[in-house]
Structure 1
Amino acid sequence: MEDDERQHLLGEIAKRDAEIAVLKQTIDALCRRVFGKSSEQLDPAQLELFDAPKKAPAADPADHGPAAEDPVRRDLRRQQPRPPRIPEHLSVIEQVPDPPEVLAAPDQWRRIGEEVREQLDYKPGRFLRIRLVRGKYVRKGDVLARPVVAPLPPSLLDRCIATPGLIAEIIDNRFVCHLPYYRQAEIFTRQGVSFHRKTLCDWAALGAHWLSSIYRAIQHEHWRSRYRQFDETPVDYLASGSGQAQTGYLWTSNIPHGTVVYHWRAGRDAGGITELFGDPGDTAPCTIQCDGYKAYPAWARDKQEITLMGCHAHVRRKFFEAKDQQPRLVAWILRQIGHLYRIEKELREAKAGPALREAIRVSHSRMIHRRLKKLFDRLALRAILPKSSLGKAVGHAIKEWSKLEVYLGDGRVEIDNNLVENAIRPTKLGAKNWLFIGCREAGQRAAILYTVVENCRRPGIDTREYLEDVLTRLPDMMASNAVTLTPANWLRARQGKPIRKAA
């Protein structure tokens, strides 16, 4: 009887030891994610992997609460005269266009007045005051004739004082330099021009409205692509009446070594994947590379024209997180995955085409895949806790294995999903500064601007120069010609190359 009780207690101790081990692994993974290095590079000769990460000292909390405002001071401020929309001290650039009729026969016209429109322009480091003076003319000797005046040039919005140059500066600061609108307002104030941050936000929204035609042109290119990488990232937004920020998602579609498109959606359901395509009835055969998120296989279950493929980087990451559980075993697995990446690096350096990539993968990479699959099948039969780090890594690899092998027979595709994750990185850098999007409707405007900005960054285009030029030309163009102003076509035109139009 005592032996049975002793065995029962030993079993309980072993069970609790296993639970403690799982909890320790979870805490260790959390500390590594918060305080440790994000790099997963390993020394090929290293079996005993890194020591436990050192915890960084916690930052001192700071009180940023707004102070209560004195109601008397608020009333006095309201009584102060309103400052001019455009400060008087700025340098003035005066433009004086004349009507075509006057230019054709100036001796027949007499100037009787003028109409003045003022806008606020911005050149890097300084504001300028653009004064457009349009003279009014009447024909000499004809007292009943109507006056003529030069037409206003096309503009983004009537009576808007911001020029395309200023709007380009605001968008560049927000979506390239990741400066929130309130910080931009502070910078402009130090330069002698004061704006409310809502005004800056409205001008950025105006730019997004005009750039939406270019966004749609890039979007159509993705709908026709035969290979795309998908991923999604959470972004908080403010929702009225909820009392706290809600979570939306930027869904990202990436064509490797090509363009990228962001799409905003309030949820993470499969509808976000559907909206990355055009008309569901016109979906062309396409290979989609994604992570192991369950919404992707659920969406593609009944779509014969869609091929899902997995990501080796996600498999490697899970084994890297389990390196402390069985160091030698995990080190061997990581070394085998490293061999796969070494082959891909050599193909990339040799600038190999799809045919050569497929041949090398079949002859070299497939053998490594077979070794890994045999090991994973044996590990699945061993007494490894499913909730442990190693158990999760093995389970994920087995579940995704058929998708991971897709790249072996297709030289067009990449080994992992890292390129689309790199495209997401700018949005996360921005979120650390501006924290959230102002409202749910503003999410798609941010997606449009991020799409344009990222497609400028990839080929090395000066984003501000591009935006100023495009926003100046768009009001005088038909929407169907917007494809000629996509970043890729804009650069080709600058280089004297033919522009690629939509099929």
Structure 2
Amino acid sequence: MQNAPLETLDKDQLLALLKERDQQISGLTQQNAYLESQVEMYKRMQFGQKRERFEGDPAQIALPFEAPSEQAAEQEEILHEKISYIRKRPNHKGRAALPSHLPVEEIEIYPAGDLSEMVCIGKEVTEELDYEPARFLIKRYIRYKYAPKNGEGVRIGQLPERVIDKGIPSAGLLASILTDKYQDHLPLYRQKQRFARENIQIASSTLEGWTKEALIKLEPLYEQLVFDMKSKGYWQVDESPIKVLETDKKGACHQGYYWVYHSPLDDVVLFDYQPTRGSAGAKTMLESFKGYLQTDGYAVYEKHGKRKDVIHLACWAHARREFERALDNDKTRAQKALSMIQQLYAVERKARQLMLDAVEIKELRLTESLPVINELGKWIFEQIKSTLPKSQIGKAMQYSYGRWDALSAYLYDGNLLIDNNQIENSIRPLALGRKNYLFAGSHEAAQRAAMIYSFFAICKKHNVNPYNWLKNTLLNISTINHKNITDLYPQHFNKVHQLTNT
């Protein structure tokens, strides 16, 4: 009918043709609006050029490499004035106090010349914070042997427990290597370069072997962490990709995932590596979970959130993010939604400032947050009817509308959080690490890395020095009674050491 001459069509056929074309125009209009919103969103995400390009002029003349003598003399005068000013510049009155726990090296400075006929009338003390690069040394254990004068039975001093049997690295060196790699994102090849600067030649394979052996020592502690984590009743969950080298395909990478679980009530974090992002990846941890489960809108979490023993919580930060992306698509409605969401966060700030307990937080939310949520819900319900589904504002409304019960569920208990931001903060070091070492060498290596990421994330949550914790753990994990292994958790480190030192 579309190819037939219009003069041959009857009235009903013309109406049908017009209706079909209207539908096509409507579809194209929606598609165009969606594409425009995507373009605007990517413009907002673009903070600058990906690279700075400089195209040289082939006709450019040779550049001079020395300044004229008169200019050089003028520059010397300027430098003289600036250096004189810097020397005479008064001390800053608001400088921060130096840490009291650091060792102090005193350097006594006496006036020049003969002081035999003079009397000291006082002294002025000036302090500065200094730094010395890491110092390598060799620990040489000399064990003396003794034998009785009469009889048999030779006795020898007991060698301290070593992390790697018959290996040369100490617990301190291994802790430094792992902290540099997984906490400060310094790949092993860069650490090898640092060793070389100190004239210490260590093969890459040796560094990799040390790292592997040290991480294997943490396996019992990690397995206990997994067991204890499963008893928690409130989890925040997210996942993040990691490239893993394929052993059977040279140079090929597999896209694996770290599934990250956070218990907000006691700030415990668990990284679990899985080769997939599908439902099988979360099965190990989530299939037996009961309690509050807070996630983003990923379908795997939605499935587990529908189980009868689980109360699913959504994340207001993700809902807010969708409306923020819609600012260039529909500024008026996006701003209205963001303004009401901001009111919800204002209530959370008020609760923190007043240092309310869980019961008081719940009462405050029901008084001040619930009316805002009801108003926002009614507004979205009305506005969504006149919104193009594929537009960014339409997607933002659909995201919140489809998860409204889960977005409101944080009102049930004052211990629950309004968003998933804490677990996203725990994943951030992983993202920084990926930019430096790019991939894991195998699936087993990725899981070993998950262990140390877990413990270092807990260190950060509890303000524990990761190097000190790891060195202590590597020294003690082989000899500690299995019943007391939880004493080695990072969250217990400061407390245990305070008791030891008193």
How do 1:205-220 and structure 2 match up within 5 A?
205-220=212-227
Amino acid at match of 2:417: E
User: SS where residue 276 of structure 1 aligns?
Assistant: helix
Match of 1:484? 487
Of residues 355, 358, 363, the one that matches 1:354 is: 358
Of residues 290, 298, 302, the one that matches 1:293 is: 298
Amino acid at match of 1:318: E
- Paired residue total: 410
Q: Is the 8 A contact 2:143 2:157 kept in 1?
A: yes
Amino acid at match of 2:261: S
Q: Is 1:269 the equivalent of 2:278?
A: yes
Q: Deviations over 1:237-270 (max 9, x none)?
A: 1112334211111111112261111111111122
Amino acid at match of 1:331: Q
Q: Is 1:367 the equivalent of 2:371?
A: yes
Q: Residue 60 and residue 214 in structure 1: after superposition, are their counterparts in 2 closer, same or farther (change >3 A)?
A: farther
Q: Residue 152 and residue 185 in structure 1: after superposition, are their counterparts in 2 closer, same or farther (change >3 A)?
A: same
Q: Distance in 1 between matches of 2:480 and 2:140?
A: 24
Q: Deviations over 1:153-194 (max 9, x none)?
A: 222222111110000000110011100110111111111212
Q: Deviations over 1:176-224 (max 9, x none)?
A: 1100110111111111212223322222222222222332333333222
Match of 1:467? 470
Q: Distance in 2 between matches of 1:221 and 1:343?
A: 33
Match of 2:381? 377
Match of 2:87? none
1:358, CA displacement in angstroms? 1.0
Match of 1:454? 457
Match of 1:248? 256
Q: Is the 8 A contact 1:362 1:409 kept in 2?
A: no
Q: Deviations over 1:459-495 (max 9, x none)?
A: 2221112211221122222333211111121211123
How do 1:6-85 and structure 2 match up within 5 A?
15-33=27-45, 35-36=46-47, 55-59=48-52
TM-align CA RMSD: 2.5
1:430, CA displacement in angstroms? 0.7
User: SS where residue 351 of structure 1 aligns?
Assistant: coil
Q: Residue 377 and residue 167 in structure 1: after superposition, are their counterparts in 2 closer, same or farther (change >3 A)?
A: same
More displaced 10-residue stretch of structure 1: 149-158 or 247-256: 149-158
TM-score of the two chains, using structure 1 as the length reference: 0.76
Q: Distance in 2 between matches of 1:385 and 1:199?
A: 59
Q: Is 1:233 the equivalent of 2:240?
A: yes
Q: Is 1:436 the equivalent of 2:442?
A: no
Identity %: 28
Q: Distance in 1 between matches of 2:363 and 2:23?
A: 53
Q: Deviations over 1:379-422 (max 9, x none)?
A: 2221x322221111111111111111111222110001111111
Amino acid at match of 1:322: A
Q: Distance in 1 between matches of 2:39 and 2:154?
A: 79
Amino acid at match of 1:32: R
Q: Is 1:386 the equivalent of 2:394?
A: no
Q: Distance in 1 between matches of 2:360 and 2:493?
A: 33
Q: Is the 8 A contact 1:217 1:486 kept in 2?
A: no
Q: Distance in 2 between matches of 1:167 and 1:345?
A: 42
Of residues 407, 424, 427, the one that matches 2:427 is: 424
Q: Which runs of 5+ in 2 are unaligned?
A: 1-5, 8-13, 55-131
Amino acid at match of 2:439: F
Q: Distance in 2 between matches of 1:477 and 1:374?
A: 59
User: SS where residue 476 of structure 1 aligns?
Assistant: coil
Q: Distance in 2 between matches of 1:481 and 1:492?
A: 14
TM-score of the two chains, using structure 2 as the length reference: 0.76
Match of 2:147? 138
Q: Is the 8 A contact 2:243 2:254 kept in 1?
A: yes
1:446, CA displacement in angstroms? 0.5
Q: Which runs of 5+ in 1 are unaligned?
A: 37-54, 62-122, 499-503
User: SS where residue 49 of structure 2 aligns?
Assistant: coil
Q: Distance in 2 between matches of 1:343 and 1:470?
A: 41
